[in-house]
Amino acid sequence: MNPKNLVLLLLFGFALPTNAHNVNAEDETVVAGNVKMEQSTDQAHVVSPVNNPPLPEDGYDSLFDGKTFVGWEHHGNWVIEEGAFYRQTAGGSLTYTAAPVPEDFELRFEWKVSKGCNSGVYYRPGQVEYQVLDNVGSPYGENARQSAASLFFCMAPSQDVTRPVGYWNTGRVICQGTVIEHWLNGHRVLSFDYSEPKWSEYVKLLAIRGGDLTGRGGLLWLQDHGQDVWFRNLRWREIPSNETITPDPHFQPLSVTGSALAKEQSRVKKMLEANAKK
């Protein structure tokens, strides 16, 4: 499809269905255990009953020991607070350099945001991101394709099951072949095979931003987008060849309509114009 036709498609025909399918919740036990939820007066902040994270489940490799930056690189703007990575000042993202992301993998982690926070977990080369967001306080939350647990600027989750600012959320990314799943707080909220024709326009949308879902071998990194954010209990496993991940056939992403869609379309048009000049 040439850029002109793609612009027309996105400007006039890329509205998504208005109904969202609520997938079944996974009976997931949070690895951190029962978290005591307390909030301070200045900002919501969850206090964990223990500072040290537990050992990862069998079959998972821990990426963070809760105490040191071993295996990670940053520019001095991240600290470790109560067993969690905490982005406290501007300075850049936090990158796991000990090993590349496996081709087929399952990543589990916990995340917590400050008011208005925008962050993300990048797990494949380029702009392939599990969005971490305060859906209520951030302007990005207006667009479901940019909301928490979305595949940012590509695919919206099926529902919003985020916890309030200051509370820990559990995140999960599963990738096998051309299948991608995002989980949030025990719910499978995104599940699709990007090789299927019905998702082709979503894949093209991400490509305009510079995302390539076929990329492999990149590094895992946690985004610094300018606001305070916390991550802990990061671990992954390589999915063996004898295990098959099947996407949810009933998955339906949330729709993007109204002013959010208009803003997205305007942004897409500018991106296409900029790409044409390169």
10 Å Cβ neighbour count for 205?
A: 21
Residue whose structure tokens are 């537990």: 54
CA-to-CA distance for 96 and 8, rounded, in angstroms?
A: 40
Domain boundaries, the chain: 17-256
- Which amino acid, residue 22? N
* Widest Cα–Cα separation across the chain: 56
What pLDDT, on a 0 to 100 scale, did the predictor assign at position 8? Answer: 40
Q: Which helix (H) or strand (E) holds 7?
A: helix 3-12
Q: What pLDDT is stored for residue 107 in this prediction?
A: 99
Confidence (pLDDT) at 2: 55
Q: Are 220 and 93 in contact (CB under 8 A)?
A: no
- CA-based torsion, 90, 92, 98, 103: positive or negative: positive
What tens digit of pLDDT does each residue of 159-179 get? 999 999 999 999 999 999 999
pLDDT of residue 277: 92
The pLDDT score that the predictor gives to residue 57 is 80
Q: What residue ranges of the chain have pLDDT lower than 50? A: 4, 7-8, 11-51
**17-256 homologous superfamily:** Exo-inulinase; domain 1 (2.60.120.560)
pLDDT of residue 58: 82
The per-residue pLDDT for 55 is: 63
Indicate the angle between helix axes 200-209 and 258-277, nearest 10 degrees: 60
- Number of CB atoms found within 10 A of residue 131's CB: 27
